[in-house]
């Protein structure tokens, strides 16, 4: 196992623990509280994270052979039949179960995912709905999704916590998915690299890209992470763009897979 993967998984566990504490505080009465995502309750948000973790475990374990109850091929075939609704339907199906069953499965899926990613042979990639992913890439993606969906639950509870420097994983993924964001809008990606300079919650400066790049993005790392997970409207961030291409990117940025999301309306 690598130090990077272990660190990623430790941060994922910490983020999940923070979310779990909020879910427990809400209790049974808050289980069906609406969240900012249309038609998604606290139960749906948790169910989505649980369902995706379980699917990721199947993918990460696919190299072990056909002994699993569900194969990766079965999942892919089901997704092909309903490419736009398959993931959401999984969340709604799980959310319909009893709360205690969902919470128990959620805890187990987190432990199983950690074990499966740590057991993935070095250098081997796991299949996914897009390109195959390394264990570290999957851990980063699971962190991003957990952080983003946790925000919705925290907002439903009215207690969004202060950000930590763990969000660097989200920021890094947001920068790395620049070209992907253009592709899902049927646009060619910019030819040149961008410079991204973000101020971390701790006050540190995080940078990506060449220092002399003409296209630049600067501002709060927290606002950037909110933007690339589409938890805030571009107009409600402190992000500054230099160059038309950089400004356009900030209007379409998304760190998550799948078609473009509707985003959020201005506050």
What span, in angstroms and rounded, lies between the C-alpha atoms of 159 and 168?
21
CA distance 10 to 180: 27
Whether 234 and 251 have beta carbons less than 8 Å apart is answered as yes
133 strand-pairing partners = 126
Distance CA 61, CA 44 (A): 26
Considering the domain 3-160 in this protein, what is its CATH number? 1.20.120.450
- pLDDT attached to residue 64: 66
* CATH 3.30.1050 correct for 167-252: yes
β 205-208/195-199 pair status: antiparallel
What is the value of pTM for the model shown? 0.93
Q: Tokens 């040149």 identify what position? A: 192
Residue 191: DSSP 8-state: S
Q: Which helix (H) or strand (E) covers residue 218, if one does? A: strand 216-220
Q: What is the DSSP letter of 216?
A: E
Query: Cα–Cα distance between 19 and 27 in angstroms, integer?
Result: 13
Please name every residue paired with 217 in a beta bridge, in sequence order, or none if there are none. 196, 241
Element (H, E) at 205: strand 205-208
- Contact between 221 and 206 (Cβ < 8 Å): yes
Report the alpha-carbon angle 252-253-257, nearest 5: 110
Cα separation, 236 vs 257, in Å, equals 23
* pLDDT at residue 75, as a whole number: 85
Q: What is the pLDDT of residues 144-188, one digit of tens each?
A: 999 999 999 999 999 999 999 999 999 999 999 999 999 999 999
Q: Rounded to an integer, what distance in angstroms lies between the CA atom of residue 150 and that of residue 154? A: 6
Domain coordinates in residue numbering, the chain = 3-160, 167-252
Q: What is the pLDDT of residue 264?
A: 86
* Residues in the chain where the model's pLDDT stays below 50: none
Distance CA 135, CA 69 (A): 22
Distance from C-alpha of 80 to C-alpha of 179, rounded to nearest angstrom: 24
Compute the residue count for the chain.
267
What is the Cβ-side half-sphere exposure of residue 226, based on CA atoms within 13 angstroms? 21
pLDDT tens for 125-142 read: 999 988 899 999 999 999
Task: Give, in degrees to the nearest 5, the angle at Cα 264 between 31 and 55.
Answer: 55
């Amino acid at each position: 196992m690598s130090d990077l993967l272990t660190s990623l998984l430790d941060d994922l566990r910490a983020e999940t623990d923070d979310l779990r504490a909020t879910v427990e505080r809400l209790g049974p009465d808050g289980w069906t509280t609406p969240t900012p995502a249309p038609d998604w309750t606290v139960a749906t948000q948790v169910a989505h994270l649980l369902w995706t973790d379980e699917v990721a475990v199947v993918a990460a374990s696919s190299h072990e052979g056909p002994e699993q109850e569900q194969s990766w091929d079965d999942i892919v075939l089901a997704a092909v039949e309903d490419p736009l609704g398959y993931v959401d339907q999984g969340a709604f199906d799980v959310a319909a179960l009893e709360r205690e069953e969902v919470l128990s499965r959620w805890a187990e899926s987190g432990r199983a995912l950690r074990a499966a990613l740590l057991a993935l042979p070095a250098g081997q990639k796991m299949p996914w709905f897009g390109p195959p992913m390394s264990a570290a890439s999957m851990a980063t993606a699971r962190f991003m999704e957990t952080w983003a969906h946790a925000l919705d639950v925290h907002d439903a509870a009215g207690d969004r916590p202060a950000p930590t420097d763990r969000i660097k994983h989200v920021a890094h993924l947001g920068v790395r998915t620049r070209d992907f964001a253009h592709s899902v809008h049927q646009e060619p990606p910019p030819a040149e690299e961008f410079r991204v300079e973000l101020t971390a919650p701790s006050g540190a400066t995080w940078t990506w890209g060449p220092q002399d790049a003409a296209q630049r993005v600067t501002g709060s790392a927290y606002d950037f992470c909110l933007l690339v997970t589409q938890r805030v409207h571009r107009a409600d961030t402190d992000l500054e763009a230099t160059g038309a291409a950089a400004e356009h990117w900030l209007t379409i940025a998304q760190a998550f897979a799948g078609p473009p999301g509707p985003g959020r309306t201005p506050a």
